[in-house]
Amino acid sequence: MIKYIVKRFFLMILTIFIIATLTFFLMNAIPGSPFNEEKTSNAVVQENLEKHFNLDKPLPVQYVLYLKSIVTFDFGPSIKQPTETVNSLLGRGFPISAELGIWTILVALISGITLGVVAALRHNKLIDYTAMTIAVLGISIPNFVLATLVIQVIAVDLKLLPAATWNSPQHMILPIIALATGPMAIIARLTRSSMLETLTQDYIKTARAKGLSPFKIVVKHALRNALMPVVTILGTLLAGILTGTFVIEKIFAIPGMGKYFVQGINQRDYPVIMGTTVFYSTFLVLMLFLVDIMYGVLDPRIKLHKKGGE
Amino acid sequence: MEKILDIKDLHVSFTTYGGEVQAVRGVNLDLHKGETLAIVGESGCGKSVTANSIMKLIPSPPGKITQGSIHFKDQDLTKMSNKDIRKIRGVDISMIFQDPMTALNPTLTVGDQLTEGLKQHKKISSHDANEQAIEMLNLVGIPNPKERMKQHPHQFSGGMRQRIVIAMALICEPELLIADEPTTALDVTIQAQILQLFNKIQEQTGVSIILITHDLGVVAKIADRIAVMYAGKVIEVGTRREIFYNPQHPYTQGLLNSVPRLDQRGDELIPINGTPPDLFSPPKGCPFTARCPKAMEVCENVYPVHTKLSETQEVDCWLQDERAKKYIAT
């Protein structure tokens, strides 16, 4: 197990290095510079600014400096917001994004799995059809459409909840609804089909022959086996939710990380782009690693440190 | 001897898109205490459906017991609620399924699966349940039971898994054990071991066994009585001796002829030609008519009378009729 974790750790570093390198060169391939828009500044000022941010140096030197900033986890000051460092932006934005993300995943998982299990147990009955109709709607409606819809109906028309910003738990409900519906629908559909398959397995019949209650059969014997496909997509879903927050954070005026990411790219704020990208990719690679660990926990047949079977 | 199971005129059908399949069409069977009854017949003859109906384990819908009764001791199982039948399952009647590779839950430890039935039905501490499970594993011949309890099914071989399944079925000390093709998925050497295990268990616990199989070799080894099923009906029943040495139904004779024998070297095997009838619309008369070498006109139209040949042997065949004997003679 430890051997596996060490191996995975080095692979993760390699992955992040490749992402960082690609980002760096792609970023520099975009035409323009951070100072394009500042028409008032004269050539001398611009030259000094470039010198200050090391932008006058040749690209390979910049690349080495940039790698150094990743290793030390110090991305330096933001170019466009001189009073802020990239680290302080991340430090402020990430907790908010993470809070939204974690709640979203929790809501999506719990409601999705419940919906899927209920649908599978009432296969081809009204509840099944209702649940699957909800799921299809959830998958088809983009989250920004849903976001504007809930703002209009719940916040503006019914005045039940605040429409935007991020101050209290009530403010969290609408963005979570908007963000969680899609993943919930995907999880519900997956759980349902996987549950239907699991329920026909012989060991479910064995459990029934033992005289166990239906509840125990579903929760103890079926669910754990049925959740494998859900775990598989969880890593990708997490990625989806994290990138999805850019749009949702914008719509709900949530001061999360997404804003800085988009702003950074628009303004060619190189340190911010680099910082957010490396941060996101590190986070994502970690999540995928956790998902792989989860496999081993859920299914003892999957041994992480060994290759092949027994 | 005390009768512990009495099945009377059992009908089970399955509703499908193509119509109603009458899988079991009036089965009568009984079982005494401590006895092993084998139900034999080819695939699709209704033997598994009969066994599953006893514990109400046929998937419903589409399956349904449409007629008849199954008396276990004094209770009619067909009339019991799902909740009541759960108190019988695993406690009074246990079941062993065909494929040990899939009958155990891959994600739970063997110990957990062994003890959960005990914990469900009897008020028992975890410690006592574990002790009992270890004892049970000992009985079915699993070495190092204490360590093995903590392992998962994939760490056991097929034969070992079938032993675990048997241990699991016996742990609540049931009075009736239904084994649905328990050796079909195992290789021959393991089959023999498992059959010996059945014998040993029966001697020690006095459990009654219903054994469902299409393997006549298995039957010859452990059955006291044999019921031959064909197209959803029991067409002949008798003691092992009667069925093997004095089979009366042409189908039973055909079955025995199609088994290779060591003492008849070189002879060709004689298959039963044709296929069983379609159970969407079962024939009016004897279902074996189309394949029967001794078929008469009456066979096609009227179901044969039930003839009692001895205290234990019974057969459904027109050849037993007085008039038929004359007809064959001429």
DSSP-assigned states of every residue in A86-129: HHHHHHHHHHHHHHHHHHHHHHHHHHHHHHHHHHHHTTTSHHHH
What pLDDT is stored for residue A299 in this prediction? 81
CB contact under 8 A, A203 and B154: no
Instruction: Count Cβ–Cβ pairs < 8 Å, chain A vs chain B.
Output: 75
Q: Which pLDDT score is estimated for A310?
A: 36
Contacts of A210 in chain B (CB under 8 A): 89-90, 116-117, 120, 168
Q: What's residue A233's pLDDT?
A: 85
CA distances in angstroms from B57 to A177, A197, B44, B94, B178, listed in the order given: 42, 18, 17, 11, 12
pLDDT band, residue A231 (cuts 50/70/90): confident
Q: CB contact, 8 Å: B60 with chain A? A: no
Q: pLDDT per residue over A150-194, tens digit each?
A: 999 988 888 888 877 788 888 888 999 999 999 999 999 999 999
Picking from B325, B292, B327, B309, the residue whose alpha carbon sits closest to that of residue B247 is B309
Q: Is B89 on the interface with A (CB under 8 A)?
A: yes
Which residues does chain B have within 8 Å of residue A220's beta carbon, measured at their own beta carbons? 108, 116
Residue B266: predicted pLDDT: 65
Best A196, A197, A199, A203 member to test B by mutation, with max B CBs in 10 Å, is A203
Within an 8 Å CB–CB cutoff, is residue B150 touching chain A? no
What are the distances in angstroms from CA A56 to CA A47, A60, A61, A64, A95?
8, 12, 10, 14, 35
Q: DSSP readout, A194-244?
A: HHHHHHTSHHHHHHHHTT--HHHIIIIIIHHHHTHHHHHHHHHHHHHHHHH
Q: Which residue ranges make up each domain of chain B?
A: 3-92+177-277, 102-173
| Long-range contact pairs involving B77-81 (C-beta distance under 8 Å, separation at least 24) | B78/B53, B80/B56
Nearest CB partner across the interface for A211, out of B99, B121, B152: B121
For residue A140, what pLDDT is reported? 92
Whether B144 shows a pLDDT value over 80: the answer reads yes
Yes or no, beta carbons of A209 and B55 under 8 Å apart: yes
Query: For A170, which DSSP code?
Result: H
Asked if B27 is an interface residue toward chain A (Cβ–Cβ < 8 A), one would say no
Contact flag A207-B105 (C-beta cutoff 8 Å) = yes
Which domains, ranges and CATH numbers included, belong to chain A?
A: 17-72 (no CATH), 95-298 (1.10.3720.10)
The three-state (H, E, C) secondary structure of chain B, written as one string: CCEEEEEEEEEEEEEECCEEEEEEEEEEEEEECCCEEEEECCCCCCHHHHHHHHCCCCCCCCEEEEEEEEEECCEEHHHCCHHHHHHHECCCEEEECCCHHHHCCCCCCHHHHHHHHHHHHCCCCHHHHHHHHHHHHHHCCCCCHHHHCCCCHHHCCHHHHHHHHHHHHHCCCCCEEEEECCCCCCCHHHHHHHHHHHHHHHHHHCCEEEEEECCHHHHHHHCCEEEEEECCEEEEEEEHHHHHHCCCCHHHHHHHHCCCCCCCCCCCCCCCCCCCCCCCCCCCCCCCHHHCCCCCHHHHHCCCCEEECCCCCEEECHHHCHHHHHHHHC
For chain A, say whether B99 makes contact (Cβ under 8 Å): yes
Distance from CA of B33 to the nearest CA of A (A): 21
Split at pLDDT 50, 70, 90, the class of A244 is low
Residue B100 touches chain A, beta carbons under 8 Å? no
Cα angle A13, A15, A17; round to 5: 70
pLDDT tier at A307, thresholds 50, 70, 90: very low
**B104 in contact with A, Cβ within 8 Å:** yes
Chain A residue closest in CA terms to B61: A123
Name residue A77's beta-bridge partners: A85
Taking contacts as CB-CB distances below 8 angstroms, the residues of chain A near B106 are 203, 225, 299-301
Tens-digit pLDDT profile for residues A68-85: 888 887 777 887 777 788
The yes/no answer on whether domain B3-92+177-277 falls in CATH 3.40.50.720 is no
Q: Mean pLDDT, chain A, as a whole number?
A: 84
CA A135, CA A118: separation in Å to the nearest integer? 13
For B282-308, what is each residue's pLDDT tens digit?
Answer: 888 888 888 888 888 888 888 888 888
The pLDDT assigned to A305 comes to 53
* Mean pLDDT computed over B137-157: 89
Which among B95, B108, B121 is the nearest to A209, CB-wise? B95
**A-chain residue closest to B122, CA distance:** A211
Which tokens sit at B143?
């070495």
- CB spacing of B107 vs A207 below 8 angstroms: no
| Chain B residue with Cα closest to A220 | B108
Helix (H, G, I), strand (E, B) or coil at A62: helix
Question: Under 8 Å CB-to-CB from A40, ≥6 apart: which residues?
Answer: none
| pLDDT grade for A309, boundaries at 50, 70 and 90 | very low
Chain B positions in Cβ-Cβ contact with residue A298 (cut-off 8 Å): 107
What residues pair up with B321 in beta bridges, in sequence order? none
Q: Are B280 and B19 in contact (CB under 8 A)?
A: yes
User: Tell me, what's the pLDDT at B177?
Assistant: 92
Lowest model confidence (mean pLDDT) among A20-34, B33-47, B154-168: A20-34
pLDDT tens-place string over residues B164-215: 998 888 888 889 999 988 888 778 888 888 888 888 888 888 899 999 988 8
Whether residue B86 and residue A213 make contact (CB cut-off 8 A), yes or no, is yes
- List, as ranges, residues 258-317 from B with C-beta within 8 Å of A: none
Q: What is the mean pLDDT of residues A208-235?
A: 87
Query: With contacts defined as CB-CB under 8 Å, which chain A residues touch B91?
Result: 211
Identify the residue whose tokens are 């089970």.
B12
Check pLDDT > 90 for residue A108: yes
* B154/A301 touch (CB, cutoff 8 Å), yes or no: yes
* CA neighbor of B88 nearest in space, from B121, B49, B124, B125: B121
Of B91, B104, B152, the CB nearest to A211: B91
Partner-chain residue, chosen from B87, B97, B107, that has the shortest CB–CB distance to A225:
B107
CB of B72 within 8 Å of a chain A CB? The answer is no
> Dihedral, CA atoms, A304, A305, A306, A310, nearest 10 degrees?
-70
Instruction: Give the whole-angstrom CA distance, residue A210 versus residue B51.
Output: 15
Contacts of A221 in chain B (CB under 8 A): 105, 108
- CA dist B116 and B133 (Å) reads 10
Subunit contact A206:B104, Cβ cutoff 8 A? yes
Chain A residues touching B97 at Cβ < 8 A = 202, 205-206, 209
C-alpha A202/C-alpha B112 separation (Å) is: 17
Asked if B168 has any chain A CB less than 8 Å from its own CB, the reply is yes
pLDDT attached to residue B330: 54
Q: Which two tokens stand for residue A48?
A: 């000094």
Give dist(CA A107, CA B107) in Å, integer: 26
Option in A202, A212, A216 nearest B103 (CB): A202
Chain A residues with CB-CB distance to B under 8 A? 201-203, 205-213, 216, 220-221, 224-225, 298-301, 310
Contact predicate B59/B318, CB 8 Å: no
CA distance A106 to A184: 10
Strand B3-16 to B63-72 pairing:
antiparallel
